[in-house]
Amino acid sequence: MQALTIISAVNDALITEMRRDPSIVTFGEDVGQEGGVFRATVNIQEEFGEQRCFDTPLAESAIVGTAIGMAVAGLKPVVEIQFSGFVYPAFNQIISHVARLRNRTRGALTLPMVIRMPFSGGIRAIEHHSESMEALFAHIPGLKVVIPSTPYDTKGLLIAAMRDPDPVLFMEPKRLYRAFKQEVPEEAYTIPIGKARIVEQGDDLTLISYGAQMKETIEAGHQLQSEGTSVELIDLRTIYPWDKETVLKSVKKTGRILVVHEGPRSFGVAAELISTITSEAFEYLEAPPTRLTGSDIIFPLPTAEKHFLLRTEHIVQVAHEVVRYEP
């Protein structure tokens, strides 16, 4: 065992799996010699050489586009997009090719590849470095979207993503990159994509989140527990395909649900979950399924980011409404 942060778990997952699988290559802007602006690929070029870990010119579309070619020819590319805010030049490649190739060739060509990118706000970053746009990607048919919130899950999910037969978009909560350490096994292990994690069991309220927002959500859960509410805390971990079974089972038990995410509200992840819950667990509900999310606004620059971010007390406040609701 080793105590790792989320960022070092990314690095550890890459190294562990690259030792096992010589078809893996990893590249992107500043990924080689520099080891990534967040140090996710540090020491990888030293160990595996420039053919397996390298810098590219500054062009996200070509980073993802060349990864497609490599994957078709049998390599397993794991590309880094420096910040999720700069993935958009590659959006065409992702939506038009990455997500479609298996289907349109009826399985003749497949794309085992991973696109890693840091996302989320709260680090007083400059423009375009704070958004949480996971819903955009989750909406694309043919794409898996994974978001860890702990070092242990990061390693297991990233290795699972590298072993997945289909493309995985791996979004890393950069606010938590170095927030805390956790014991992580040194050997390779996987955590199944598509499975949520029940962080804590409870009976009165289901509280769901993922990624960076998990931290405040867990804190809020604990506060509610100290007030006598029994909270079931769930980390969704995979945005698509999301773990309907775990979520529905929990809601059927508690009858009350609050979904929390930092990304914008309209057409977001919470909307999808709540829509499903409403139609498939309707008779179990004791309160309106509720969401607490970012607003439909441009993520503000640092002096106002406090007005966008969801704090623990905000979650508690809304959870109270859900718990105290009487029809």
Among 3, 47, 50, 58, binds ligand TPP (CB under 6 A): 58
* Contact pick of 51, 126, 165, 282 for other proteins (by CB under 8 A): 126
Instruction: Answer yes or no whether residue 307 interacts with other proteins by CB under 8 A.
Output: yes
| 149 in Cβ contact with 237 (< 8 Å) | yes
Pairing of strands 182-184, 205-209: unpaired
Token pair, residue 249, equals 């089972």
How wide is the angle at C-alpha 37 spanned by C-alphas 34 and 39, nearest 5°?
Answer: 70
The 10 Å CB-count burial string (b at 16+, else e) for 155-166 is bbbbbbbbbbeb
Distance (Å, whole) CA 157 – CA 151: 10
Nearer of residues 39 and 139 to other proteins, judged by Cβ: 39
29 binds other proteins (CB under 8 A): yes
Instruction: Give the range of 102-110, 146-154, 250-258, 289-297 binding other proteins by CB under 8 A.
Output: 289-297
Distance of CA 93 to the CA centre of its chain: 20
Q: Which of 236, 169, 240, 244 is nearest to 209 (CA)?
A: 236
CB of 249 to ligand TPP, least distance (A): 42
Task: Please give the residues from 67 up to 86 whose contact with other proteins meets the rule CB under 8 A.
Answer: 85-86
- Which H or E element spans position 214? helix 214-226
Return the number of the residue (16 or 82) whose C-beta is nearest ligand TPP: 82
The least distance separating ligand TPP from the CB of residue 24, rounded to whole angstroms, comes to 23
For residue 325, the minimal CB distance to ligand TPP (Å) is 45
* 307 part of the active site: no
Neighbours of 150 (CB within 10 A): 24
The binding site for ligand TPP (CB under 6 A) comprises 29, 58, 60, 82, 86, 89
Residues that bind other proteins (CB under 8 A): 29-30, 33-35, 37, 55, 57-59, 61-62, 85-86, 88-89, 124-129, 265-266, 295-298, 300-305, 307-308, 314, 317-318
